[in-house]
Amino acid sequence: MWMWQHDHFFDHGCLMVGFLLLSISGWVFDITSGEIADFPRFGVNYGKVANNLPPPTDVVTILKSICISKSKLYDTDPLVLQTFRNTGISFIVGTTNEDLRFLINPTLAMAWVQENIARYLPATYIIGIVVGNEIFSGSDTTLMKQVLPAMQNIYAALESMNLHQQVAVSTAHSFSTLKTSYPPSAGAFSDSIANAYMRPVLEFLSRTGSPFLINVYPYFAYKDNPSAVSLEYVLFQDNPGVLDENTQLRYYNMFDAQMDAVYSAISELGFDNITLLVSETGWPSRGDADEPGASVANARLYHDNLVRHVTSMRGTPLRPNVSLDVYLFALFNEDMKPGPTSERNYGLFQPDGTPVYSFRSFRQQQFTSVSSSAVAFSMFHRFPLELGLLYLLIVYVAVY
């Protein structure tokens, strides 16, 4: 089965932590299950719908400064892919929705892969291709019919070049493809797409071992109904939780509830072996008057608490101890995005490279997770030297 690959670590802090983690067999031991869990990895969406963004060389520096080694593009921008050669930063790249009309032709799909993927490998670390974005939540059935053939043709082209084991092929879905998401155990895809489109796509993902990409935004649920949806619930803060009567599982944040609704929808169609990847999630730092909750304070809380939650390795109530790859949306505020003010204010950074809000780096968040008392206690007798060195490293990085 195709697996998302481990990335390189960056700067002295990231590199040293990577070395120590690898010295502990490259894995984190989960005391609750007695199993070994893959350490979760965060990436960021590198959107470019703006006219004032820094050059890609500066983006490399920004990503390394926060220990991000995974990024996602919505195209195959040659300048970006060339600039990121030999940086160790991995990329999921994308086709535009308009590209699908010619990617359904096997010959043209082969040419596209040669021009946009193969020629950059292995210097540029491309790990996945997203064939279209949120197509099944729209109304264009012609486009919907093109998704799977395009995916199959791209995969066949990769296979012919012996690249199919290192470059995955999938498509990204909006959470709105679900007709039911509450309770999470009742999650189900819309009737119009479930059997006609989603089931064949899931069959492809199951066969190739590629992940199911889902864009989840708890913010939207709060924005649409702030009187009924608790802000604490969507921001991972203390709250009484929501009980799923079907499973008797209690949910303390909407992110987990949304993820489990997707797991349930996939299971309803007969698939239990497909990995989820969060291809987008985020919170706006500004919004219009009719966009409650869009603020710097809430964006910072969502970011920090999401990272803390995912790196805790708890998984979700329905899928405990299952780690996730999560791609935050987005790296920059993008001034040319249409729609309400919030659409232009999801970035971690301003275009000039200054943070929109202060946040703990991903290196610091990962230190917190790895050095938590529960994990440290469970691993002390197995790896006393490594954990002692890791503790000293945490102190060193915190000071310097």
The span from the CA of 241 to the CA of 127, in Å, is: 37
In the chain, the amino acid numbered 374 is A
- Phi/psi of residue 279, nearest 5 degrees: -80, -20
Q: Name the pLDDT band for 280 (thresholds 50, 70, 90).
A: very high
Lowest mean per-residue pLDDT among 30-34, 145-149, 351-355 = 30-34
The span from the CA of 283 to the CA of 195, in Å, is: 32
The tally of CA atoms less than 13 A away on the side-chain side of residue 185 is 12
Q: Choose the catalytic residue: 35, 280, 291, 343.
A: 280
Is the pLDDT score of 380 beyond 70?
no
Q: How many helices (H) and strands (E) in the chain? A: 15, 14
Going by the DSSP 8-state scheme, the letter that residue 227 receives in this structure is T
Q: Name the pLDDT band for 334 (thresholds 50, 70, 90).
A: very high
All domains in the chain, ordered by first residue: 1-39+360-400 (no CATH), 40-353 (3.20.20.80)
CB burial of residue 385 (10 Å; 0-12, 13-18, 19+): exposed
Q: Choose the catalytic residue: 35, 115, 134, 203.
A: 134
pLDDT at 40: 59
Single out the residue of 229, 360, 239 nearest to residue 293, CA to CA.
229
pLDDT at 323: 87
**Which residue has 């963004």 as its token pair?**
53
Q: Are 299 and 355 in contact (CB under 8 A)?
A: no
Q: Name the pLDDT band for 2 (thresholds 50, 70, 90).
A: very low
pLDDT at 145: 98
In the chain, the amino acid numbered 309 is H
pLDDT mean over 48-65: 97
The span from the CA of 332 to the CA of 349, in Å, is: 5
Q: Name the pLDDT band for 6 (thresholds 50, 70, 90).
A: very low
Tokens read off for 234: 């969507």
pLDDT mean over 354-364: 79
Q: Say whether 203 is catalytic.
A: no
Provide the percentage of residues in the chain whose pLDDT is more than 90.
78
Q: Name the pLDDT band for 131 (thresholds 50, 70, 90).
A: very high
Q: Is the peptide bond before 284 cis (omega within 30 degrees of 0)?
A: no
* CA 394 to the chain's CA centroid: 26
pLDDT at 92: 98
3-state helix, strand, coil in the chain (%, to 5): 45, 15, 40
pLDDT at 374: 28
Run of H or E residues at 29:
strand 28-30
pLDDT at 359: 83
CB burial of residue 262 (10 Å; 0-12, 13-18, 19+): buried
Q: Which residues pair with 188 in a beta bridge?
A: 180
Q: Say whether 280 is catalytic.
A: yes
Lowest mean per-residue pLDDT among 6-15, 127-136, 217-226 = 6-15
